[in-house]
Amino acid sequence: MAKTALKKEKWTLSFDPRLKSLVVKAARRKGVYPVTLLEEIVRERFNPYGHTDVKDSLEYLTALRKESRKQPDKEFLAEIEAWQKSRSS
């Protein structure tokens, strides 16, 4: 029995021309189609566990480290304590 191909829906989205050119440039740098890049971005935003769909682990860790440098240690600890309190109730 032959495999059935998945039917992709075609959508038309309107974009700001500057945003569109930014997406096209980013897609070229990554070597993917702009649609693929947009799908990755949407998946990342809507996935509550963003680490499960990581394509480039080095880039992901670099971004996490940059973000963590912006947050002071005391603020980080306060965030953990607040999380623990919310989980225990």
How many domains does the chain contain in total? Answer: 2
Residue 3 lies in a domain: no
Residue 19 lies in a domain: yes
Residue 87 lies in a domain: yes
Residue 45 lies in a domain: yes
Report d(CA 68, CA 62) in Å as an integer. 10
For residues 50 and 21, membership in a common domain is answered with: yes
Residue 5 lies in a domain: no
Q: Which of 52, 20, 56 is nearest to 38 (CA)?
A: 20
Which pLDDT score, from 0 to 100, does residue 88 have? 66
* pLDDT tens for each residue of 29-52: 999 999 899 988 888 777 766 566
Which pLDDT score, from 0 to 100, does residue 50 have? 58
- Angle at alpha carbon of residue 11, lines to 7 and 14, rounded to 5°: 165
Residue 20 lies in a domain: yes
Output the pTM of the full model.
0.44
Structural domain of 35: 15-55
For residues 30 and 47, membership in a common domain is answered with: yes
